[in-house]
């Protein structure tokens, strides 16, 4: 607790192949992603991570280098939460399916520019409106990916392919 992330990353062996850190999810799949440059200047403690815009959550650190497609990464996360929804409450049951289908559409070259605002709106209507925390867990990664890596989503929509 309190160790600078850059030091922790170095202790873990650094970035594979000397690649650049693109993004990091510091607290497991349900936490907001942070850009690499932000993460490299952050310590691994509750206050520092919160100030940077994420949370420590489970403490599982997910590292993404410059070869990671953030649209594909979010598609995988969205699919997980869609499959994990128990279906009890409508925002999660319906919302996680919509999130996944829209992100899948973008990933496969069929996205529309208005999908980005729709994703943000959906996440806003899921977060804080479910019985358990799964709805929040599904919504937070979507909102953070759009906030920090919107250019990749836009590129997928405009060029029907990945920029990575």
Tokens of 143: 């909102």
Question: Which DSSP symbol is given to 22?
Answer: E
CATH number of this structure's domain 5-65: 3.10.20.600
The domains of the chain are located at 5-65, 70-159
Rounded-to-integer distance, Cα 78 and Cα 92, Å = 12
* CB proximity list for 61: less than 8 A, separation 6 or greater: 8, 24, 25, 26, 27
Give the model confidence (pLDDT) of 55-71 as tens digits: 999 989 999 999 999 99
Task: Report in angstroms the alpha-carbon separations of 119 from 6, 68, 135, 153.
Answer: 32, 21, 14, 11
Q: What is the pLDDT of residue 34?
A: 98
Two structure tokens written together for 158 = 């405009």
Tell me the per-residue pLDDT of 21-39, one tens digit each, with 9 for 90 and over: 999 999 999 999 999 999 9
Q: Measure the CA angle with vertex 162, ends 159 and 163; round to 5°.
A: 90
pLDDT reported for residue 158: 98
Looking at the domain that runs over 70-159, which CATH code has it been given?
A: 1.20.1440.230
Look at residue 61 and give its three-state secondary structure: coil
Per-residue model confidence as pLDDT tens digits over 10-24: 999 999 999 999 999
State CA 96 to chain mean position distance: 14
Q: What is the pLDDT of residue 110?
A: 98
Per-residue pLDDT reduced to its tens digit, 90-149 = 999 999 999 999 999 999 999 999 999 999 999 999 999 999 999 999 999 999 999 999
Which residues of 11-152 form beta strands (DSSP E)?
21-25, 34-35, 62-65
What is the separation of C-alpha 55 from the centre of its chain, rounded to a whole number of angstroms? 12
1/93 Cα distance (integer angstroms): 36
């Amino acid at each position: 607790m309190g160790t600078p992330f850059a030091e922790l990353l170095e202790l873990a062996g650094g970035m594979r192949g000397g690649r650049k850190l693109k993004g990091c999810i510091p607290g497991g799949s349900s936490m907001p992603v942070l850009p690499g440059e932000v993460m490299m200047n952050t310590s691994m403690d509750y206050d520092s991570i919160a100030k940077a815009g994420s949370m420590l959550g489970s403490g599982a650190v997910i590292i993404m280098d410059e070869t990671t497609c953030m649209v594909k990464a979010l598609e995988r996360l969205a699919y997980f939460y869609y499959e994990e929804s128990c279906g009890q409450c409508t925002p999660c049951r319906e919302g996680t399916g919509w999130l996944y289908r829209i992100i899948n559409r973008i990933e496969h070259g069929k996205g529309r520019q208005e999908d980005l605002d729709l994703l943000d709106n959906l996440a806003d209507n899921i977060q804080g409106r479910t019985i358990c925390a799964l709805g929040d867990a599904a919504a937070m990664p979507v909102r953070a990916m759009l906030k920090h890596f919107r250019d990749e989503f836009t590129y997928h929509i405009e060029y029907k392919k990945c920029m990575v």
